[in-house]
Structure 1
């Protein structure tokens, strides 16, 4: 009965987050859900408190990097990226797709998938419209790369931070092991996109007016580069990436804070999306109740004890299935404690929860947000086409990513 109740509460929390009735934030469902599992005794007060402490640094980083990404957008980083993409592509839809893959993969890796979905997608749409090319391949690339290109760094995705905390790896070690899978997955996505959207990419572009030059936001780009280096340098000396991201955001916001301190503090708080941070805390406690019951026992029995190629593939597929059944964030919260005995299995689970959401809309909140953004335009995505593209890319990317991970683990001697 406790397992049934905890699953019902989780479904209710996720359903609220997906629908967001009356525009209410996701936390309005997750926080009461967390309180309910504690009041019903499904999770003790002590365990709930420990879960909040464990999630604290991760949620802190989420708030900091969201703020950093919005400040970078205000500085013109994404407008500049869109201008560069249009200039380099020289009117070719195929070249535009290739340039976009490079830009979106870099943005996702450094500023997290939320920046790609929320900030880059509108820029890509505007660039395609200005170039008068079919926007569909480029818009679908934004959501696919927001998920699958978020494998590289611990800071690229909230799921990465959760996996990173469970893996026992250093920042540099994590990035080194995930570099080859990241490249393999992005390359696989690109080749399959070229084939799937061959007709759209072959359509000739109608010549439009030249785009006005956009000045490079040098200061913001330097701050982002220094912040990225700081992620790698700070972690070995015990400084959490959240502090590095917060420092980068503070540098970008300094001038505005000096001129209008009260107004800027409020704007930064909105950029940090504190209600969503509350959602993550609440969801963590609800998933703890599910993991502690029968569902956790069943999933635990499916986890292999070894990290060979078959074991890595089994965990990645299981993670992808769970991501599409319950969303990738709760899937990560459930899986990472169960595979923490093997860094290789932790990274395999990360492949599944990051690549798997490209199969269905409900796989990740970022995909749902992308869909919501496009539904406000004339370029609404078709559900059947999204599924067809996902059915093509997800299995291939999982295979490519797992094979690359297995090779990297073998070469490095990591289990």
Structure 2
């Protein structure tokens, strides 16, 4: 099957896969529709079998890292890392809600940068909500900080977001060079998100906390040292051309060693924390998106993507990526745009600004946002109108600011 018919069939399968992933009826894994859809595009000849195998081989290391870092984040949480950091943030805030917001923004940005956005959504958000409840302050600004920084705070490192991992190879940059170029955009986003939340939720942030911060528990020193060493090993692994999945796996082993002595290891639970269903979904979605792009969409995007690296060109590309992310979710948007910009680091990084910052405009823009909303207690769930009003008011400004910062970094650091 080729031509317009193949394009339509592949597009329908993509929509069905994404729609099921968004809704997840009865908690059924995202892979339940995406995997059969990927098989179908191969059986129908929309994607040749050898091309599908090449796609799976190409994305295999990326998905392996995703599974390893999810387990690593879970082990950090069980070791008390997030509880300790949340209590420290509350203590340093002195019961002042605006100061606490700054602490939460910084903590969420750091967690996202080092442990991926999933750790911020799944592991940090409950700690932040519990901290707000103990201080008797409105939880909304702090809950929003977690989801906003889970997306826009993922600009810094190749390991911060699945979109970054996908783009890392296409950019042709070292781990260190990637981080150096994205440091300024990341800092601009952290400051911009704090300012946006500070203004939008100024009523919730007025006054003082009604309760005193709890005492800070003893720091989980071993886990914190392993965390720092693991993040450093990502840089070293990249320098010697070793897949970052091995560094994440080594971190998992280091955290498990003390627990092996007490036989406090549950293998099947660790397998579950690796989210095999979501990993299969990512691989299957890559095949389905290939079916969409190879029959017309790739050529259409090629015509839309600017060829230069001026500020205007970078901004146009970031805006295109942001619009596409909110239309079809940031993961397929990344998969569709990367083949068009592969080999041009400036354009690849501009795409990442669009697919990482842009999804804060709407719920469907990022699977992480949808997961965040599902996990929130009923009393803390945001109103759709409020969420989208905040997003539409701030995201366009933040995309412009991040793109300007990238343009400056490209000239200051060079590629």
- 8 Å CA contact 2:180–2:413 kept in 1: the answer is no
- 8 Å CA contact 1:313–1:402 kept in 2: the answer is yes
1:359 is aligned to 361
Structure 1 residue 412: Cα displacement: 2.8
Instruction: Measure the CA separation in 2 of the matches of 1:204 and 1:171.
Output: 42
2:253 is aligned, of 250, 255, 261, to: 250
Q: Identify unmatched segments of 5+ residues in structure 1.
A: none
Residues 151-196 of structure 1: CA deviation (Å, up to 9, x unaligned)? 0000000000011110000000000000011111111111121111
Structure 1 residue 207: Cα displacement: 2.8
Structure 1 residue 275: Cα displacement: 1.0
Structure 1 residue 259: Cα displacement: 4.4
Structure 1 residue 377: Cα displacement: 3.3
Structure 1 residue 288: Cα displacement: 0.5
Residues 101-158 of structure 1: CA deviation (Å, up to 9, x unaligned)? 1111110000000000000001000000100111111110100000000000000000
Task: Confirm or deny that 1:302 pairs with 2:304.
Answer: yes
Task: Confirm or deny that 1:391 pairs with 2:395.
Answer: no
- 8 Å CA contact 1:357–1:364 kept in 2: the answer is yes
1:113 is aligned to 117
- 8 Å CA contact 1:307–1:342 kept in 2: the answer is no
2:148 is aligned to 144
1:158 is aligned, of 147, 158, 162, to: 162
1:186 is aligned, of 169, 190, 201, to: 190
Instruction: Measure the CA separation in 1 of the matches of 2:250 and 2:114.
Output: 15
Task: Confirm or deny that 1:202 pairs with 2:206.
Answer: yes
SS in 2 for 1:200: coil
- 8 Å CA contact 1:137–1:200 kept in 2: the answer is yes
Question: Structure 1 length as normaliser, TM-score?
Answer: 0.97
Instruction: Measure the CA separation in 1 of the matches of 2:76 and 2:104.
Output: 18
Structure 1 residue 258: Cα displacement: 4.8
Instruction: Measure the CA separation in 1 of the matches of 2:87 and 2:280.
Output: 36
- Corresponding residue pairs, total: 411
- 8 Å CA contact 1:257–1:264 kept in 2: the answer is no
Task: Confirm or deny that 1:229 pairs with 2:227.
Answer: no
Instruction: Measure the CA separation in 1 of the matches of 2:408 and 2:155.
Output: 16
1:293 is aligned to 295
SS in 2 for 1:319: helix
Q: Identify unmatched segments of 5+ residues in structure 2.
A: none
Residues 299-340 of structure 1: CA deviation (Å, up to 9, x unaligned)? 221011111111100110011011111110111111111111
SS in 2 for 1:198: coil
Question: Structure 2 length as normaliser, TM-score?
Answer: 0.97
- 8 Å CA contact 2:134–2:211 kept in 1: the answer is no
2:371 is aligned to 369
Residues 70-102 of structure 1: CA deviation (Å, up to 9, x unaligned)? 000000001101101110111111010011111
Instruction: Measure the CA separation in 1 of the matches of 2:136 and 2:188.
Output: 31
Structure 1 residue 397: Cα displacement: 1.1
Matches within 5 A, 1:8-407: 8-207=12-211, 210-260=213-263, 264-374=266-376, 376-407=377-408
Structure 1 residue 296: Cα displacement: 2.2
Residues 184-212 of structure 1: CA deviation (Å, up to 9, x unaligned)? 1111111121111111111443235x524
Q: What's the RMSD between the two structures over aligned residues? A: 1.2
Instruction: Measure the CA separation in 1 of the matches of 2:168 and 2:216.
Output: 40
- 8 Å CA contact 2:91–2:215 kept in 1: the answer is no
